[in-house]
Amino acid sequence: MSGSGDSTAQLLSGTQVASELRNGLISDVAKLCEELPGFKPGLAIVQVGGREDSNVYIRMKIKAAKEIGIEADHVKLPRTITEAELLTKLKNLNEDPNIHGIIVQMPLDADNPIDSNLITNSVSPDKDVDGLNTVNQGRLAVGDLESGFLPCTPNGCMKLIKESGVPIAGSQAVVLGRSKIVGTPCAELLKWHHATVTVCHSKTKNLDKESETADILVVAIGRPQMVKASWIKPGAVVIDCGINAIPDATKKSGQRLVGDVDFEEAKKVASFITPVPGGVGPMTVAMLMKNTVLSAQRAAARHKRVSWNIRVLPLSLQTPVPSDIAVARSQEPKDVSQLAEEIGVFSNEIHQYGCKKAKIDLSVLKRLEKRKSASHLVRITPTPLGEGKSTTTLGVVQALCAHKNKNAFACIRQPSQGPTFGIKGGAAGGGYSQVIPMEEFNLHLTGDIHAVTAANNLLAAYLDARIFHEKTQSDKSLYDRLVPTEKGKRRFSKIQSKRLKKLGIEKTDPNSLTPEEQTAFARLDIDVDTVTWQRVVDTNDRFLRKITIGQSPTEKGHVRVTGFVMSVASEIMAILALCKDMEDLKERLSKIVVAQDKQGRPVTADDLGATGAMAIMLKDAIQPTLMQSLEGTPVLVHAGPFANIAHGCSSIVADDIALKLVGPDGYVVTEAGFGSDIGMEKFFNIKCRYSGAKPNAVVLVASVRALKMHGGGPTVVPGIPLKPEYVHENLELLEKGLPNLIKHITNGRKFGVPVVVAINTFATDTQAEWNLLKKASLQAGAFRAVICNHWANGGAGATELADAVIEACNQPLKFRFLYDLDLPLVDKMRKIAQEMYGAADIDITPEVQKRVEAYTKLGFGDLPVCMAKTSLSLSGDPTVKGAPTGFILPITNLMISVGAGFVVPIVGEIQMLPGLGTRPNIYDMDIDADTGEIDGLF
């Protein structure tokens, strides 16, 4: 080293080095913003109180951030803030994805006692750009200099030492001071750069002698000019971290700043030395900015990283396969927060319901709006009992994700409690291809169906209440109660103002309306005979199908006949499944038509003033629920529209979130209930119109025993053991049922997408039967036909199916709709009946024809058609199996779901509220009072 005798030490200018760092950071930020439009590094500077010295430091940091391109937010908090309030504020900042760095300006200028160590440790280690969180200090202590953040002043000191060019490795380093902010972390950094380090403090004996041994001397003791030339080894590098004000009559302020080292003396001995000011100080701010940019770069990398790091849950396969509930209970699910992290969902984007399921906030769509979406699949089934469709969905996703290392999501509907307690016992899939925890999936989940029930019945309750109040009050009394005077003021609510606008009344003062305008505003004048809105219940209850309401004396004789339908048949459930966000949800709710007035005009939920209240009830229900498969792959559960009446698909919101999360090379397998004639046709013609999605492939689920039934086999009754024809080889019966499968394949191909047939195997099937089914599928134009055993082997039993799906999704996209929306309603019905069902024509009753004309006149003729038809046959007769042709399809009724966005032709008799059988599943259901374990799900 040089610098002995009369030579003068070279200055290590922190100002200069910081300027060079700043220029590099400006370039880094510009690159980030170019790669991710709309992205900007964010720094939150939290200040409690208003100390002027703190204000000076904060202004300096904000100025530096602005020059670099960092969005600095000065979070000013009052002196009166409590510790709990400050912790809450920090929690919100920790969860804000736009904030990449958080610093809490010390000291805290607070009236209330606040633990500064607790506050420091409450800043997320991932945003702790000061490097003061215990986690980051611990990383430094064990030599992890990469994964966290290094404290700013010590890191700045290291940068200056490196600028000197003096080797650190092998040097003798002495650090004067052991504060956790400077001295101790500086010693750790020197140690991990292979210097031999001595830490001195106030109790160290012969401090000057210890200091004199240093090749590198770092001083941080807070004592002005304490270190003299005699303490410094000739040629040493001296880093002065101190900044102290001492009297100086020559200065206008009466004082000047000096360090802990006597600079004038030391510069004659040292080889390199930092000045004060202009040495370590500027480096501290520069390193703070560097850490903030580093945090932003890490966040950007997470944002751009599409490949998941799924921790697969291994299966312990058993033969024979135990019951579904036994299999489900044999697997311990991952914590849902871990699963969310694996698939790229941020902590502020999930709302946990316990540790096994969580709602995903729709804000994730905003964050990922620039990311390209994935391949989109729809899966269907021709089986009468739905056997195999959920199981195959889970099986192929487990295969894609856990065995093929592809990003893959399953999007399925929430099951209704009606079938769960009635005949089905659960809808989570089966065998080793299930959603877990099974009990939580099948029972309530996160309460979405209850929210739909409450919103539906609120609208029904106020509809009847409004009819009652209009019949029992004068025009003036009705108006005065609708727009009351409160605290001397009278005003229209937001939704009432919408009604005024609809009526063409451009007034805002309730007192300014004429009597005629008051009457038009207050009276909906509902024709009771046209009321279509019914109450709903999530229980199979046959005695609510047709009821009389208003029989209490308090209702003054205003009775009417109505009824209940199942909750999943509510138009609100269909709206929940078809909306894209909260604004779209509110718009669709507002359009619900509940009746007509006496002039034949539609009466809507908005007219009743119920839109906002219903939306509030659905504010959590609009968020899909994150769960997992038996192998730990992600599943989104959302909505549950009744497939016979509504479109029978899981939600657009869930699909959109899944498509963004899996990225452009991933796969989303989404649900379409029942067969191609119902679920697939509605998925394509209704859901895809509103979502804008263009599916890449169809997975058609088929089973030997289902096709035997379509070939003329004995009637299949839930709960009754299968007849011998279904459990023994019968190629002749199977061959007779093949036309049904061929029709489903043909239906899929009409939409321009490749059809992959998944042959869902059962233990009673034979190889010859599988071979026959596979051959027929390929001859009918299926892209691939694959024999699957995912029920018994999980994802491993569907790897060949996964390969077929991947290959199908790589084909050129040729998706098309079956019909154009400008086609007349009757022609749309006819098109579906002929193309999807095989009918020769449709038969429309005079009453249906009148409704067609009325709906068309009201402007609803350009809506898609949602056929309400039995799932047990391609025709409208559930007893007709196979693939009938040439029949006439009867359209017996017509309903309108304006909010959902479709017209519903009723084919034959459709039961909208099932009843309980003689021996429903409730007989087998129980809960252990000690363990909480549930029996009866299977």
Reported as a single tens digit per residue, the pLDDT across 371-415 is 888 767 765 544 444 558 889 999 999 999 999 999 999 999 998
Strand partners, 565: 536
Average confidence (pLDDT) over 412-422: 83
Which of 105, 331, 534, 623 does the annotation list as catalytic?
Answer: 105
Q: Which CATH architecture has domain 10-290?
A: 3-Layer(aba) Sandwich (3.40)
Return the CATH fold of 449-617.
Answer: Domain 2, N(10)-formyltetrahydrofolate synthetase (3.30.1510)
pLDDT tens profile 89-120 = 999 999 998 999 999 999 999 999 999 999 99
- Looking at residue 3, its pLDDT comes to 38
- Quick check: is 248 catalytic? no
For the domain made up of 825-907, the CATH class stated in words is alpha beta
Residue 124 above 70 pLDDT?
Answer: yes
Q: What class, spelled out in words, does domain 324-446+620-809 have in CATH?
A: alpha beta
In this predicted model, which residue has the larger pLDDT, 692 or 417? 692
61, 356, 424, 736: the active-site residue: 61
**Quick one: what percent of the chain has pLDDT higher than 90?**
81
Catalytic residue chosen out of the listed positions 130, 260, 262, 464: 130
Picking from 330-334, 562-566, 905-909, 931-935, which range would have the lowest pLDDT averaged per residue? 931-935
Residue 20 has pLDDT above 50, yes or no: yes
Percent share of the chain, pLDDT over 70 = 97
Question: Is residue 204 scored above 90 in pLDDT?
Answer: yes
What average pLDDT does the structure give for the chain?
A: 93
Give pLDDT tens digits for 445-477. Answer: 999 999 999 999 999 999 999 999 999 999 999
- Measure the CA–CA gap between 484 and 469, rounded to whole angstroms: 15
Residue 283 has pLDDT above 90, yes or no: yes
- The SS3 of residue 662 is helix
Does the fold of domain 324-446+620-809 match that of domain 10-290? Answer: yes
The number of C-alpha atoms within 13 Å of 94 and in the hemisphere containing its C-beta is 16
3-state secondary structure 617-662: HCCCCCCCEEEEECCCCEEEECCCCCCCCCCCECCHHHHHHHHHHH
Mean pLDDT, range 262-276, rounded to an integer = 95
Chain centre distance of CA 168: 49
Tokens 């729809």 correspond to: 378
Binned at pLDDT 50, 70 and 90, residue 828 comes out as very high
Is residue 507 annotated as part of the catalytic site, yes or no?
no
- Does pTM surpass 0.75? yes
3-state secondary structure labels for all residues of 881-894: CCCCCCCEEEEEEE
Q: When comparing pLDDT for 488 and 396, which is higher? A: 396
Q: Which residue has the higher pLDDT, 718 or 407?
A: 407
Whole-number pLDDT of residue 379: 56
Summarize pLDDT for 661-706 with one digit per residue, the tens: 999 999 999 988 888 999 899 999 999 999 999 999 999 999 999 8
- pLDDT over threshold 50, residue 2: no
With bands split at pLDDT 50, 70 and 90, how would you rate the model's confidence at 1?
A: very low
Burial group, residue 839, by CB count within 10 angstroms (0-12, 13-18, 19+) = buried
Across residues 870-889, what is the average pLDDT? 91
| Domain positions in the chain | 10-290, 324-446+620-809, 449-617, 825-907
828 is catalytic: no
User: 74: alpha, beta or left, given left = phi > 0 and alpha = psi -120 to 50?
Assistant: beta
